[in-house]
Amino acid sequence: MKIQITKKDIIWSYASYILQTGSGAFLLPLILNKLSSEELAIWYVFLAITALVTLLDFGLQPTIMRNISYIFSGARELSKEGVVIQKVETDIDYGLLKSMIKTTKRLYMIIAFIVALIMLSAGSTYIRGITESLYNQNEIIVAWYIYILSIALNFYFYYYTPLLTGRGKIAESNQTIAISKIAFLFSSVVGLSLGYGLIAVAVGNLIGSFINRVTSYYYFYDKEIKNNLKSINSKEVNLLPILWTNSYKLGLVSIGSFLITQGNTLIASKYLDLEIVAMYGLSLQLIILLAVTSSIFFMTYIPRFSNNRMIDNNEGILNDYSQSLFIMNFIYLIGSIIILLFSNRILSLVGSNTSLLPNSQVFVLLVIIYLETNHSNCGTLITTKNVVPFVKPALISGIGILVLSLLSVTYLNLGLWGMIASQGLVQLAYNNWKWPHEISKDLGMSYPKIIKLGFINIKRVIKFKVFRNYS
């Protein structure tokens, strides 16, 4: 089965990603108005700790999605590494699909339990330690426990997202995200307006997690899937070794990515003033929001990249990737200008208690996150070949950034500038240029020419649509 990406898929991808990553931004005016700088800093610590325990997914999501795409593309067997090229279109092997679903269910049940245990023990100890001087510590602790429940529930049903996207149900997958984020926003707005502070946001997150998983089940288990899975009596195959081979590698990469993007938040909360932490967290949130928004087109096409790898369609990969690369660059440039020129003015208008960092630091962060986003997308495209060649570079870079950041704030007294510089310099040394270069070799075209091809392809699509509308 050939996976098609329709206009509906792209529209819903933008809608859901904007809600998924922008729900925090939509909520920001109220959060900034209702929470103090200290409470805002604690919320960013909540998110950083969550990002840390999310590493326990250990690369399973993209690995499952990729293998589900292979199955729905007609695969009769799955490999630990590499792709078995399927030249002839065949029916779906529902026995293989059933084995994959059962394997992933068991895995995420175990992971959810471990996540809850870590957050209840180590996470709670950390939160109590950094809030002991705050007058509303008990309220923050209650919010933390509710937040733990929402994260554990989210993990328990985490496997539905790769099942939907791997099957090619991009619109449906993104609809579940959109619905859950709307529920999160509505619940949080009501709670914050009533004066429940962090508890309101934690409860909103719990409600959103529950709704996401209910709607995901509804969309995946349609009549066709239910009937075909029910009729399969073949013996279950243990697919854990196949999933684990590349999953653990992506998990190690995730640890490096956490140290690169979120490690500084935890260091800053320990060694810098909470007001600076809030400014840094807010600035980073807006920039990462921009980075994710600029990559939506690319992320939407990941199942099709895997599908094209399966049928050995390199030209299709080049055309799709070139368009996504041009769109990423265009959106990131426009967004960066808006952040630099207008963000603090908008924050002032909404009565924010927290502003962004100075423009000089925001500009450097924009450059660092752009380069990070670009090479991360290249790495993701490489993994559609069912290989993960960047484990060591990711880990070494993450550890290098962590060590340099600690040295810069403890011994060199460079403060936040030292932490920002550490991230930029370490990534420039290798990852920022290495993986775009590998993609250029893989697609047989230089990076500037890939961007140019993307512009030409997009212009051709626009001209075709305009001509069709007026003919």
Taking 60 as the threshold, does the pLDDT of residue 200 lie above it? yes
Give the lowest-confidence range in 65-79, 122-136, 181-195, 374-388.
65-79
Which tokens belong to 294?
């600029």
Contact status, residue 434 vs residue 382, Cβ threshold 8 Å: no
Average pLDDT on 233-243 reads: 76
Phi and psi for 138 in degrees, rounded to 5?
A: -60, -40
Structure confidence at residue 374 (pLDDT): 95
Dist. CA 293–CA 296, nearest whole Å: 5
Structure confidence at residue 434 (pLDDT): 94
Q: Is pLDDT larger for residue 22 or for residue 71?
A: 71
- Say whether 107 sits in a helix, a strand or coil: helix
Average pLDDT on 338-347 reads: 88
Average pLDDT on 24-38 reads: 71
Q: Is pLDDT larger for residue 90 or for residue 344?
A: 344
For 227, other C-beta atoms within 10 Å of its C-beta total: 10
Structure confidence at residue 333 (pLDDT): 95
Contact status, residue 126 vs residue 49, Cβ threshold 8 Å: yes
Residue 285, Cβ density class (10 Å: 0-12 exposed, 13-18 middle, ≥19 buried): middle
Structure confidence at residue 471 (pLDDT): 44
Confidence of residue 469 (pLDDT cuts 50, 70, 90): very low
Structure confidence at residue 21 (pLDDT): 60
Average pLDDT on 30-34 reads: 74
Structure confidence at residue 338 (pLDDT): 93
DSSP 45-65: HHHHHHHHHGGGGTTHHHHHH
Average pLDDT on 446-469 reads: 74
Q: What angle do CA 307, 395, 357 make, to 5 degrees?
A: 95
Structure confidence at residue 45 (pLDDT): 78
Confidence of residue 271 (pLDDT cuts 50, 70, 90): confident
Confidence of residue 375 (pLDDT cuts 50, 70, 90): very high
Share of the chain above pLDDT 90, in %: 17
Give the lowest-confidence range in 209-223, 409-423, 433-447, 457-471.
457-471
- Say whether 1 sits in a helix, a strand or coil: coil
Q: Is pLDDT larger for residue 370 or for residue 26?
A: 370
Tell whether pTM > 0.75: no
CA dihedral sign, ordered 443, 445, 450, 453: negative
Q: Is pLDDT larger for residue 153 or for residue 41?
A: 153
Structure confidence at residue 466 (pLDDT): 42
Confidence of residue 363 (pLDDT cuts 50, 70, 90): very high
Confidence of residue 171 (pLDDT cuts 50, 70, 90): confident
Share of the chain above pLDDT 70, in %: 89
**Site of tokens 């992933």:** 104
